[in-house]
A and B are shown apart, each in its own frame.
Chain A
Amino acid sequence: GEEVAQTPKHLVRGEGQKAKLYCAPIKGHSYVFWYQQVLKNEFKFLISFQNENVFDETGMPKERFSAKCLPNSPCSLEIQATKLEDSAVYFCASSQSWGFEQFFGPGTRLTVL
């Protein structure tokens, strides 16, 4: 596709429940990124992939967050045992190659109650 797609648009979870978000990068793009935008607008990098391989996971809270990009499937970001502070908009982005422009998806708004 010509745009990054993300599902679902909104997700509501009770504290302690699992949340799973999906991202389809632009066709032909090799790199996928996940960013978290909290209410104060601040963007936080979580993880990046080069095709199906993790490229940089320095931003991931590893004890509860995991992510995958498998061939012929949407990429996913999963949060086990959600906490109130996980409430945010999660954006996926993709780029054609290393150091190229990153194009963002519409985001998934996660609300943890």
Chain B
Amino acid sequence: GENVEQHPSTLSVQEGDSAVIKCTYSDSASNYFPWYKQELGKRPQLIIDIRSNVGEKKDQRIAVTLNKTAKHFSLHITETQPEDSAVYFCAVLKEYGNKLVFGAGTILRVKS
């Protein structure tokens, strides 16, 4: 089955710095790659996603890059703010499948 590895498990950055979280996956049939942000005690919320026919997508301070050959994708947050502090999860959806396979999560702490 699909295996998703996420690194790092924790990340501390200074306010205003950039944060990068990386995920690798094993199944080359995967074609949809969402990122979720989960605050303590809250539901996971989709912050950005990318499909396999695109290499990069950006939404204000957040961007995702995908390298299908190497089977990895990354979340980039620029100009981090304290409210970006949360747990971030990458996930993978296989073509003809419908269940998300999640990475283990990254705890992001933005220090002001």
Contacts and interface: CB of A to CB of B under 8 A. Distances in A.
Contact of A105 (B43, B49, B89, B91): B43
Nearest to B38: A41
Given A91-B44, A107-B43, A43 B99 contact: no
Contacts of A91: 43-44
B89 A106 contact: no
A54 to B, nearest CB: 12
Contacts of B36: 104
Contacts, number: 52
Given A41-B87, A41-B104, A103 B98 contact: no
Contacts of B87: 41
B49 A55 contact: no
Given A43-B89, A99-B93, A33 B43 contact: no
B44 A104 contact: yes
A45 B93 contact: no
Nearest to B51: A99
Contact of B100 (A41, A42, A58, A102): A102
